[in-house]
Structure 1
Amino acid sequence: MAEDEDNSAFVAFSEMGLDSRLLRAIDGMGWPSPTLIQEKAIPLALEGNDILAKARTGTGKSAAFALPILNGLLATKDTDDGSGDHHMNARHVRALVLSPTKELCHQLTQHFQQLTAFCSREITVLDISTGRVDDMRGVMTAETPDIVVGTPSRVLMHIEAKHLPRLKQELKYLVIDESDLMFSFGYEQDLQRVLQSVPTIGCQSFLMSATLNPEVKNLKKLCLHNPVVLKLEEPELPESDQLLQYHIECDEEEEKFVLVNSLFKLGLIRGKTIIFVSSVDRCYRLKLFLEQFGVRACILNSELPVGSRCFVVQQFNSGVYDIIIASDEKCCSDARQRNDRKGKSSKRRPDEEYGVSRGIDFKYVSNVINFDFPTSVTSYTHRVGRVARGHDSGEGTVLSLIGAHEKEYFRTVRESFSASANFKPYQFKMEELEAFKYRSRDALRAVTTIAIREARIKEIKREILTSQQLKSYFEANPKDQKVLRHDRALHTVKHKQHLRDVPEYIVPPTLQAMVKAKKGSNKRLEEEASLSYTPKRKRRPKHLNKKKDKNADPLKTFKFSTTRRSKPKLKNRRK
């Protein structure tokens, strides 16, 4: 086992010996240069080494294994085509990519498809993490894909259904992505059974992880042969010039809602934002609260169908939505509590293969708000990894709202990082938000338990009825996507129009000049850019609809109209 040190000179994509079709795809994706993990891993993988790579979230680990695999597959196909041996040229599953969540499987499939933009006929990719196994029999047997992406449990189902008959003979590449999460998601037995169906010799393996915990070390013994271990010397968090970390201590739960409302309504938070909460109920509670003030936000949680969740992420990345409220149950609940729940039956279990803080590539995120603070350092690190990611340029801001029961968690996180992490208190005077408190209190009263339950039922019903059309229908009819706007109001709480406006007298004195200037210069632009904007059709007054005579005397017209309006009054007087 070799360990690679960070001592080599910079290597560009064009100097790595990659296929020209892959270089064209990289250029089309706008990647100017490889990230550190890509610069280190790709040349070593092209030499045929097994790779165990540790790098924090958002550093470009996916391309670090995708590019060497695609390059190897293209080289094999070119050789087979030239040899004229039809048996060798037969299509088989040559690469298997395992990931812990359905969302990440969908994202990895899209990533492979983007990189094969100029060789899509030669290489096909299939995501088998969703759908009924029996329904995919035809695709898996008649049109066998070159690359299969799925969770360990779904891949095992297809192996047992005989959909991957020559996997042990033909597989050339195995990837276990986010491998440190595999056991925590309950995949230990499934993963071991899948590994029994892959070749022990002649298969290049990749283990990609954000941490090197004992589970990863156990996996290394099972599927790696004399691997190169890449422990990149990089901070767990982005540099302080890229990442600003603020926190506000809230004595009462109500203060969190007041702060989020005031920050959005006063324009203090700009750009694409992810708000993390601890449960599905909290997800809907915050959405119903914000929409009373005209703040539109879409929801991402484990109860929504996987197609809808992937669709939400896709639309967020394309700029349709600006605010996502994500329930991050796995990062906010203690592992001990999760294990206790495994032995208990529940009426409705959310998707066990759901995950949002890890792996999913939210693009160009400007802000992360920890509405509910995570209970571990690892969870905080992965949430923060949503900003300042990989090839995305720009700065990111993290704002954590610390409740009374969360101070201990925050203290642990702050002490675990060095002084360079630069945690700063957000300078905000709560006493200047009294008017916002009164408004927020009324809005919170309206968000009852019944309203939350009705909102959850309404959202689930709507998504179930339309989830089968999300991929195919909206690709063919993009204009009809407004039918399924995930940020639309749920209408389980009565809205009061006056809450949408921010009168000048409730704006804190220190911000009045900024808010006034913002209203005066950017009101029209902000309205048109808002998610709920629809241009209003102006109606002409009735008296202007009649064509005017250019030669008419305006004084006579005025006199005539005045006389007509006064006639009813004269009749009434006579009566």
Structure 2
Amino acid sequence: MNLAPTALILVPTRELCQQVCSEANSLIELCRVQLRLVQLTSSMSVSELRTTLAGPPEIVVSTPACIQTCLKNGIIQAKAVQDSLSILILDEADLLLSYGYEDDLKALTSHVPRRCQCLLMSATSSSDVEKLKKLILHNPYILTLPEVGDTKDDIIPKNVQQFYISCAARDKLVHILALLKLELVQKKVLIFTNSIDMSFRLKLFFEQFGIKSAVLNAELPQSSRLHILEEFNAGLFDYLIATDESQSDGKEQVDDQNGSERKKSKKHRKHKLDAEFGVVRGIDFKNVYTVINFEMPQTAAGYVHRIGRTGRAYNTGASVSLVSAEETEIFEEIKSLLGENDDKVSQFIAPFPLLSKNAVESLRYRAEDVARSVTKIAVRESRAQDLRNEILNSEKLKAHFQDNPKDLDLLKHDKMLSKKAPAPHLRDVPDYLVDPTTQEASKIVKLARAAMGNTNASRGKGSKGRFKKSRDPLKTFSAEAPKRAGKGGMKRKAKDADNGHKYKKKHSS
């Protein structure tokens, strides 16, 4: 009898842990042999971990830190691992070390038997991957799997078109407003920022123009983050603003080797936060047609991973990067990584062709007026309000989704945070502000969307639920007659009275 799991799948983040567990369960259902799979999270107490691993299960999905906790507390015996473990899988291998799991992995690998089959999977090769290979693998086979139609040297699949827009940093808001409001990009759209404050600034800005969006960041409770991902994947809203602040900050190191304990503890807490959240890597976003880099990533590798959120499973996709003068250096590094011809012109990333200068200038006054109202205080207040809402939602989610896992529409994550109601005239762009070139481009995008069957991407489950609500007789009952019928009735009565009057007048004469 095995006293430890037979297969162990290690991933760097909670979000990926949840997704791997979900996919693995769907595969297990097709197996003839009954297998039990469990997921371990850092929020579990020692007693909960002990209960979950009782049996033990055949497959465990976890972060390295949780496994180390189990070994340290004797929940999993080192001898049992040596006797039972047959398969060890490390997904997103290059992130496992950068997220601060090196010590946890070293503690585990000392107990992994040589007969155990070990698999390392990563979208990119790096020094961290090489370090892991030496730590875990013995004379490994290396398998490179390019997309269909691509060569092994293609960094971004050919089914993803890459564009950029050069603009000043202060003009990024008006440019992204033009892209979304004039419908020049395909939905659904994933928008990346480098900080949580900027993501909320974007959300507040969008709200004033009637654009619904949700924010995904490391501050939110885990259940809320997972629910936001599920709602977005189900098509309940079209725009998701994600921050990969943890990835961009992960490179930073303390320069002073003799720094205070306060700095060290702060750095330690930061690594813990990094290990809990990850949105750029591994997460399987469903039907994302466009990725927008509102702020450029800190590294060229970060760009590759962001763009990898679209064009999945052989679907077409596109990316649009807003590049300011301050971001020219990293942009040149990205172009060099992707490949350039002899004239230093990128063969893979081109200027965005559908947005004209006139279209941007026509929206400038409105955009700048609204941008001035999105102050640092407004961002701070909305950020605190969103966190309070999600903490409350998280408690409700825990209880509700245990019994109703498919009820995604219980809580809205795209609701307004701004205290100021959006002005009605900002919701629509009047025809006189749209130049003919942009109008034609918008028509082309709409036709392409219709051809792909993407006309109602955000209406999937949400509209069905709302339709059912409107048919509830207790909610729609009114003692008053419907206005339209009333007006029609009044018109008919007036007409009949008028006809009767004419008839009497005719006969009396």
TM-score bracket for the superposition, by shorter chain length: 0.7 to 0.9
Instruction: Name 1:329's counterpart in structure 2.
Output: 245
Answer yes or no: is 1:201 the counterpart of 2:130.
no
Instruction: Name 1:125's counterpart in structure 2.
Output: 37
Answer yes or no: is 1:554 the counterpart of 2:475.
no
- Measured against aligned partners, the alpha-carbon deviations of 1:455-507 in whole angstroms (never above 9, x if no partner) come to 11111112212224436524644786444211111233442121111111111
Instruction: Name 2:283's counterpart in structure 1.
Output: 360
Instruction: Name 1:5's counterpart in structure 2.
Output: none
| Amino acid of the structure 1 residue aligned with 2:93 | S
Closer/same/farther in 2, CA of residues 155 and 517 from structure 1, 3 Å limit: closer
Match of 1:154 among 66, 88, 94: 66
Match of 1:234 among 148, 152, 166: 152
Instruction: Name 2:505's counterpart in structure 1.
Output: none
Moved more, 377-386 or 130-139: 130-139
Answer yes or no: is 1:444 the counterpart of 2:361.
no
Q: How far apart are residue 188 of structure 1 and its match?
A: 1.2
| Amino acid of the structure 2 residue aligned with 1:394 | N
| Amino acid of the structure 2 residue aligned with 1:191 | L
- Measured against aligned partners, the alpha-carbon deviations of 1:177-222 in whole angstroms (never above 9, x if no partner) come to 11111221111112111223x3323211111123332332232222
Closer/same/farther in 2, CA of residues 203 and 375 from structure 1, 3 Å limit: same
Instruction: Name 1:274's counterpart in structure 2.
Output: 190
CA contact (8 A) 1:371 1:401 kept: yes
| Amino acid of the structure 1 residue aligned with 2:88 | L
How well do the aligned residues superpose, as a CA RMSD in angstroms?
Answer: 3.5
Answer yes or no: is 1:222 the counterpart of 2:144.
no
Moved more, 187-196 or 473-482: 473-482
Q: How far apart are residue 246 of structure 1 and its match?
A: 0.6
Following the alignment from structure 1 to structure 2, what is the Cα–Cα distance between the partners of residues 473 and 555?
61
Instruction: Name 2:259's counterpart in structure 1.
Output: none
Q: How far apart are residue 508 of structure 1 and its match?
A: 2.0
CA contact (8 A) 2:210 2:422 kept: no
Closer/same/farther in 2, CA of residues 421 and 548 from structure 1, 3 Å limit: closer
Following the alignment from structure 2 to structure 1, what is the Cα–Cα distance between the partners of residues 397 and 82?
35
Answer yes or no: is 1:418 the counterpart of 2:312.
no
Task: Summarize the alignment of residues 57-76 of structure 1 with structure 2, pairs less than 5 Å apart.
Answer: none
Match of 2:210 among 256, 269, 294: 294
Q: How far apart are residue 453 of structure 1 and its match?
A: 1.3
Instruction: Name 1:210's counterpart in structure 2.
Output: 123
| Amino acid of the structure 1 residue aligned with 2:360 | L
SS in 2 for 1:295: coil
Following the alignment from structure 1 to structure 2, what is the Cα–Cα distance between the partners of residues 458 and 481?
22
| Amino acid of the structure 2 residue aligned with 1:202 | R
- Measured against aligned partners, the alpha-carbon deviations of 1:318-371 in whole angstroms (never above 9, x if no partner) come to 222322110011343471358889637399968222111111111222111011
Closer/same/farther in 2, CA of residues 318 and 432 from structure 1, 3 Å limit: closer
Unaligned runs of 5+ in 1: 1-87, 560-575
Closer/same/farther in 2, CA of residues 151 and 541 from structure 1, 3 Å limit: same
SS in 2 for 1:304: coil
Following the alignment from structure 2 to structure 1, what is the Cα–Cα distance between the partners of residues 166 and 397?
41
Following the alignment from structure 1 to structure 2, what is the Cα–Cα distance between the partners of residues 110 and 338?
38
Instruction: Name 1:109's counterpart in structure 2.
Output: 21
Answer yes or no: is 1:489 the counterpart of 2:416.
yes
CA contact (8 A) 1:446 1:493 kept: no
Answer yes or no: is 1:351 the counterpart of 2:273.
yes
- Measured against aligned partners, the alpha-carbon deviations of 1:366-387 in whole angstroms (never above 9, x if no partner) come to 1110110112111111111111
Instruction: Name 1:60's counterpart in structure 2.
Output: none
CA contact (8 A) 1:451 1:493 kept: no
Answer yes or no: is 1:249 the counterpart of 2:166.
yes
Q: How far apart are residue 540 of structure 1 and its match?
A: 1.3
SS in 2 for 1:307: helix
Q: How far apart are residue 529 of structure 1 and its match?
A: 3.5
Answer yes or no: is 1:185 the counterpart of 2:107.
no
CA contact (8 A) 1:433 1:508 kept: no
Answer yes or no: is 1:174 the counterpart of 2:88.
yes
SS in 1 for 2:225: helix
SS in 1 for 2:98: coil
Following the alignment from structure 1 to structure 2, what is the Cα–Cα distance between the partners of residues 116 and 218?
32
Moved more, 156-165 or 505-514: 505-514
SS in 2 for 1:226: coil
Query: Please, what TM-score do these two structures have when normalized by structure 2?
Result: 0.81
- Measured against aligned partners, the alpha-carbon deviations of 1:127-167 in whole angstroms (never above 9, x if no partner) come to 11242223524533434321111111121112222222322
| Amino acid of the structure 1 residue aligned with 2:387 | I
Unaligned runs of 5+ in 2: 146-150, 257-261, 341-345, 471-475, 503-509
Instruction: Name 1:84's counterpart in structure 2.
Output: none
Q: How far apart are residue 555 of structure 1 and its match?
A: 0.7
Closer/same/farther in 2, CA of residues 294 and 395 from structure 1, 3 Å limit: same
Moved more, 120-129 or 187-196: 120-129
Following the alignment from structure 2 to structure 1, what is the Cα–Cα distance between the partners of residues 303 and 286?
19
| Amino acid of the structure 2 residue aligned with 1:451 | A
Instruction: Name 1:408's counterpart in structure 2.
Output: 329
Task: Summarize the alignment of residues 351-390 of structure 1 with structure 2, pairs less than 5 Å apart.
Answer: 351-353=273-275, 354-389=277-312
Answer yes or no: is 1:136 the counterpart of 2:48.
yes
SS in 1 for 2:142: strand
CA contact (8 A) 1:250 1:404 kept: yes
| Amino acid of the structure 1 residue aligned with 2:61 | V
SS in 1 for 2:133: helix
- Aligned residue pairs total 463
SS in 2 for 1:386: coil
| Amino acid of the structure 2 residue aligned with 1:256 | K
Instruction: Name 2:57's counterpart in structure 1.
Output: 145
Moved more, 143-152 or 365-374: 143-152
Following the alignment from structure 1 to structure 2, what is the Cα–Cα distance between the partners of residues 113 and 96?
14
CA contact (8 A) 2:224 2:397 kept: yes
Instruction: Name 1:508's counterpart in structure 2.
Output: 435
CA contact (8 A) 2:191 2:241 kept: yes
Closer/same/farther in 2, CA of residues 432 and 478 from structure 1, 3 Å limit: same
Instruction: Name 1:24's counterpart in structure 2.
Output: none
CA contact (8 A) 2:231 2:409 kept: no
What's the % identity of the aligned pairs? Answer: 36
CA contact (8 A) 1:296 1:531 kept: no
Query: Please, what TM-score do these two structures have when normalized by structure 1?
Result: 0.72
